């Protein structure tokens, strides 16, 4: 009933969706804190924004935090930096998590005995915050590999941008790379928050179909913020070349990526696409040797 009410309130608006999700997590923690079983628990497992009340219930229990939301403070820093670099992309300034959610998340991290994260970037950021590495576990969501069904066309490179075609996912950097590469074909998903508009209208850009990896030569995830894309995991498991930042790679290991992009995402993406286009890779080709040419 609460979820239905939350959907009615949000009406598809991204800011209201987040507000509703945060409120539901808080409500669920109040409900769970009254459960009789809590008094006998040896281990308490709770997701972000619903853990603090439960973790403070019994100091003898092991507290396990599931960080299934982005690390808000880091996300805000990344969004602010991206907004300064790409002032025309208004959705980069559209929404920030409320201050109470940032404080709540960081309190939960401090209280947890063990922290479960979804990717290498979150693990790295927690270590920067002073969390001992042995307290952090990266849990990889497994996806069944697929059989790629595309034969490379000489002189052409077809790439998929996973997730929404949003500026936080590197669309402005992709547009810059696309402008001088007539051989590049991009498949992406438009929707609320998709920008810049010139990318969506570009003649070399097409809407991604339901079978997202069918007919593509590579998956690119030049994400500027922490993000998790099933297509990145599936492509890496299937031997399809993957170009990604650490923020966009999820739990995919560095050695499983074809190219991991450096901090200079725009220049790195351009070099990576050129290298991938020139290499004409087969299904299992790894391009580790060319990464030395990428900017650092």
Average pLDDT of the residues in 57-72: 92
pLDDT band (50, 70, 90) for residue 292: very low
CA distance 146 to 98: 40
Say if residue 113's pLDDT is above 50: yes
pLDDT tens digits for range 24-40: 898 888 888 888 777 78
Of 104-113, 196-205, 223-232, 278-287, the least confident: 278-287
Q: Give the pTM.
A: 0.87
Say if residue 61's pLDDT is above 50: yes
Task: Select from 109, 119, 95 the least CA-distant residue to 21.
Answer: 95
- Cβ pair 208, 160 in contact under 8 A: yes
- Cβ pair 190, 169 in contact under 8 A: no
Say if residue 293's pLDDT is above 60: no
CA distance 275 to 280: 9
The count of other CB atoms within 10 Å of the CB of residue 160 is 25
CA distance 50 to 23: 10
pLDDT band (50, 70, 90) for residue 148: low
The pair of three-digit structure tokens given for residue 158, joined into one six-digit string: 């077809």
- Which ranges constitute the DSSP H helices of 229-293? 230-238, 246-249, 265-279
Omega before 196 within 30 of 0, i.e. cis: yes
């Amino acid at each position: 009933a609460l979820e239905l009410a939350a959907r009615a309130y949000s009406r598809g608006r991204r800011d209201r969706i987040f507000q509703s999700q945060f409120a539901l997590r808080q409500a669920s923690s109040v409900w769970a804190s009254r459960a009789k079983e809590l008094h006998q628990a040896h281990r308490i497992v709770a997701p972000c924004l619903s853990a603090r009340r439960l973790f403070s219930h019994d100091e003898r229990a092991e507290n396990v935090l599931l960080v299934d939301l982005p690390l808000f403070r880091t996300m805000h820093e990344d969004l602010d930096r991206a907004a300064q670099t790409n002032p025309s992309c208004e959705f980069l300034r559209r929404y920030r998590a409320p201050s109470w959610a940032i404080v709540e998340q960081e309190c939960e991290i401090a209280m947890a005995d063990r922290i479960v994260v979804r990717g290498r970037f979150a693990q790295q950021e927690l270590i920067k915050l002073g969390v001992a590495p042995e307290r952090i576990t990266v849990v990889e969501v497994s996806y069944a590999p697929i059989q790629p069904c595309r034969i490379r066309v000489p002189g052409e490179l077809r790439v998929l941008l996973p997730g929404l075609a949003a500026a936080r996912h590197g669309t402005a950097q992709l547009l810059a790379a696309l402008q001088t590469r007539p051989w590049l074909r991009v498949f992406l998903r438009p929707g609320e928050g998709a920008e810049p508009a010139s990318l969506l209208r570009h003649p070399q850009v097409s809407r991604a179909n339901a079978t997202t990896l069918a007919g593509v030569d590579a998956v690119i995830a030049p994400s500027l913020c922490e993000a998790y894309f099933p297509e990145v995991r599936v492509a890496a498991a299937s031997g399809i070349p993957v170009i990604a930042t650490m923020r966009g790679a999820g739990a995919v290991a560095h050695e499983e990526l074809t190219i991991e992009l450096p901090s200079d995402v725009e220049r790195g993406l351009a070099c990576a696409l050129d290298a991938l286009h020139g290499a004409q890779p087969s299904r299992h080709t790894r391009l580790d040797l060319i990464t030395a040419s990428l900017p650092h």
